[in-house]
Structure 1
């Protein structure tokens, strides 16, 4: 999948862009996990064999060893199948099908850990977070049979319960769990129980979609279908306060209300950030609003939440689902627009509705109806365990040699060797700076055998490809 970069100004944060493209309609390219640079060129791509298989929440994290406390950078993501009509109608749209898992890969793109959910729950695409304790916090879900007639649904129905789970990465042992069904009232849902008729009797009343662990041992949990964010005491499981929804403990000031929100995160100074989807399938009386990044400031004395900063898009976007707002190290904000095919970076001051180009520094658009559940900017150094790739053909009276190395972030130039047989490649016949994902190097040498070497910024050889033969 190739993106179209529509804005690329100075001042962006360091790092590359991490997306997991898929489509609920007609996929352009392949689903999978994709790293792009600022020009839109791929850095690493791990394709999946079927468009009915998806990745989500693809990002860089730190994997801590619980005994030594040392950490190493890793790639993490969810992999599985989503209930996307018309292919799957056994669960509410967007719910994970059974069989998913989480992957942790090292800087050489080798699998370190595979993580699964416990006691019958399905690993959920919405959240997978590594902690400094050598554990992983994630969301999992499963249908729980229930008589839904008190809520206006079928008698022999089920409710899609969401559960926070924490596992020890070294052993896979479950250390902690918190169930939405045990702590939230389904009657507060903004999704009618009658909707279960289109998903085999399963009602998605809660739809937990993010967890963030605070420094005081509390969890910030977003429940999309409740229009609410909960601060939960991790030790007791008690809800300390609720923002939004039908039982909000905070009054929401101008532009501070939100609907179908995603990615709730603690911010310094009593702040909370989220992606406010804000639109689509709203109950009567709720005013539709543009999707946008939102940072709230919480006044605990007066129990009032005010909009501190907002991040809008131009043209206006209305994303029914998904999305995220990421704080970057230089003060910028990175917005994944969820069900709209964009990702954007803004200077920290943001903008206001109707002024979506203000402070826009970087933006790209995914092709067709492709989307990514979240999008991130992360710093990453990849040193693949596998060699570079090479290919050669006749061209211009000589040869054109093509060099690429999926996932290498340190390759700055390519060196070409040639010879009359595979064991006689002593002559360096070409050299070129790395140019995008694949670099074409022209040489007058007929070969017919060629090999490429990846060079770092100092001109040192990182690794060599297999020897390839030019056809003809």
Structure 2
């Protein structure tokens, strides 16, 4: 296993100012990356904030100040009403013919980008979220190659600080690569990671070949600083092949993904809670014995499953402080919709009952992916995975926000968290001479969450610019139209917080 601390910023976020200036003059924003196809319904984009009217009809954002960034737009189906505080974290996946770039994306309730970092070509990103590391808020995500089918990852877990600087990359021990499904940081400075390993297995007991192979699910806890593996569990030691609901591959030489681990969470001081999609079950692992403590669901459930409690192909099992367990039930035909469910699990009585169920306002069956985030005050945030988009619910189950990602792009998970971002680079500015109107000056600062307003500066001398106006921030990119008779050679901007303090200033750039 390797753990590589670093203080460098991630390479996908920014290019040099010279490169961006040339791109502004000569090229349009690049086409979306498309490394794999995930089908979903087509979508309509929301209106732009600082964009031209023609651009507002597009399904990807276009920015004068950041021409190399084209994140997908968000179509808000139900406008935000009484939502929880915080930003929304997404990792849009590549999709053939989609206009938006895949990458790591933070948006506000309107779907307007707060921060975006596109993926490098040929590199996938998943499970992008905010966590806490050594008492400080950080961003974590998985980065690597998606092996599809069956749908697991070979890559690394990455940690970034609040200035979007990479501070660590994590791998599993034993020569395994980190899987895409879950990256969980603990208060002890460790990480819970998942892995898949191809293992030779006699499959004749389940109707397969004697020289068959399976993907074994691996769960590890690793020390972030040293890379030491502190705990490991492997599915073949406890979970039989006959527990799987996934049919054997038609090609006997193909590897059977009998288990498909997809989430992990600490459960008390001595346990872990994991979910396995292909056995339709949640497992509690005892860290002291290294064995399965109990099964919830599946063919060998240790609980009597009450009405409405059975789940299929599920994701994201989480224990809540009150003892209930939440998970995303993907479902399967003849069901016509997925749901986010809460189960009341009585370990003493050995029973499970349905305590709550949330469905999308417009029925949708998510064939894969998805998550359920329980929030304070009984609110809930659900990412619909393979059916694109997310929904926030009030405590009474009514919808606080419902949105979809343009072009049917999917995000494996979606989260809401309060985030403060303080990028180390400068704000961006672009002055554009209008063809039939005034010169427009555009301002942005990718990832800066504390900007309340912009002060625009203009003049003929790069070194002596004068204030030209001050306007509230209206979105990722804010525009000021200069007076019709203004013809400055250079422009710059200053980012101001809610008290009018200068947070950052862009270099002066020529008007083009």
TM (normalized to structure 1)? 0.89
The answer to whether structure 1 residue 454 and structure 2 residue 507 are counterparts is no
1:113 aligns with 2:149: no
Task: Decide which moves more: 364-373 or 35-44.
Answer: 364-373
Deviations 1:372-413 (A, max 9, x none): 111000110001011111110123664211101110100111
For residues 416-458 of structure 1, the C-alpha deviation after alignment (integer angstroms, 9 at most, x for no partner) is 1122122222x11121111111111112332211111111101
1:32 aligns to 2:103 (yes or no): yes
Distance change in 2, residues 1:289/1:398 (3 Å)? closer
8 Å CA contact 1:277–1:320 kept in 2: the answer is yes
Tell me which moved more, 9-18 or 130-139.
9-18
- Structure ranking higher in strand proportion: 1
Task: Tell whether the 8 Å contact from 2:336 to 2:364 is kept in structure 1 after alignment.
Answer: no
List aligned pairs for 1:264-279, cutoff 5 A. 264-279=317-332
Matches within 5 A, 1:315-326: 315-326=362-373
Give 1:13's aligned residue.
84
Q: Does 1:369 align with 2:408?
A: yes
Equivalent positions of 1:339-418 (< 5 A) are 339-350=386-397, 359-395=398-434, 398-418=438-458
**Counterpart check, 1:432 vs 2:503:** no
* Structure 1 residue 25 displacement after superposition: 4.6
Q: Does 1:46 align with 2:117?
A: yes
Q: Pairwise CA RMSD of aligned residues?
A: 1.6
Instruction: Determine which of 188, 193, 202 is the counterpart of 2:255.
Output: 202
1:213-224 counterparts in 2 under 5 A? 213-224=266-277
Aligned position for 2:355: 308
CA distance in 2 between counterparts of 1:435 and 1:106 reads 26
* Distance across 1 between alignment mates of 2:476 and 2:95: 28
Deviations 1:89-122 (A, max 9, x none): xxx32122x4x11111111111111111221222
Deviation of 1:251 after TM superposition, in Å, equals 1.1
Cα distance in 1 for residues equivalent to 2:210 and 2:426: 59
Shift of 1:289: 5.4
Structure 1 residues 252-309: Cα deviation after superposition (integer angstroms, max 9, x where no partner): 11111100110000023331000000115xxxxxx53520000000123331111101
Moved over 6 A (4+): none
Distance in 1 between the 2:214 and 2:95 partners?
A: 24
* Aligned equivalent of 1:334: 381
Return the offset for 1:224: 0.8
Q: Is the 8 A contact 1:105 1:113 kept in 2?
A: yes
Name stretches of at least 5 consecutive residues in structure 1 with no aligned partner. 65-70, 85-91, 281-286, 351-358
Tell whether the 8 Å contact from 1:31 to 1:53 is kept in structure 2 after alignment.
no
1:392 and 1:402 in contact (8 A); partners too: yes
Q: 1:251 aligns with which of 301, 304, 309?
A: 304
Partner of 1:355: none
Identify the match of residue 234 of structure 2 among 179, 190, 199. 179
Provide the secondary structure at the position in 2 that maps to 1:82.
strand
Residue of structure 1 equivalent to 2:15:
none
Does structure 1 retain, via aligned residues, the 8 Å contact 2:219–2:232? Answer: yes
CA contact (8 A) 2:94 2:101 kept: no
Match of 1:63 among 111, 133, 144: 133
Q: Is the CA contact 1:43–1:407 (under 8 Å) kept in the aligned structure 2?
A: yes
Equivalent position SS for 2:408 = coil
C-alpha separation between the residues in 1 aligned to 2:97 and 2:229? 38
Kindly indicate whether residue 162 of structure 2 is the aligned counterpart of residue 82 of structure 1: no
Mapped partners of 2:386, 2:251: distance in 1: 22
Distance 2:451 2:410 in 1: 29
Cα drift, residue 149 of structure 1: 3.1
Q: Secondary structure at the match of 2:273?
A: strand
Q: Does 1:164 align with 2:219?
A: yes
Q: CA deviation at 1:174?
A: 1.8
Q: How many residues align?
A: 438
| Aligned-partner Cα distance in 1 for 2:89–2:251 | 34
Give the Å deviation of 1:215.
Answer: 2.0
In the alignment, the residues of structure 2 paired with residue 215 and residue 258 of structure 1 have an alpha-carbon distance, to the nearest angstrom, of 24
The reply to whether residue 262 of structure 1 matches residue 349 of structure 2 is: no
The answer to whether the aligner puts 1:126 opposite 2:181 as a matched pair is: yes
Q: What's the TM-score, normalizing by structure 2?
A: 0.83
Distance 2:359 2:370 in 1: 13
* CA deviation string 1:174-207 (max 9, x = no partner): 221111122211111001223565xx62110000
| Aligned position for 1:296 | 343
CA contact (8 A) 1:154 1:201 kept: no
Residue 73 of structure 1 pairs with residue 137 of structure 2: yes
Say if 1:146 and 1:156, in contact at 8 Å, map to a contact too: yes
Unpaired runs of 5+ residues, structure 2, are 1-71
Does the CA contact (< 8 Å) of 1:335 and 1:375 recur in 2? Answer: yes
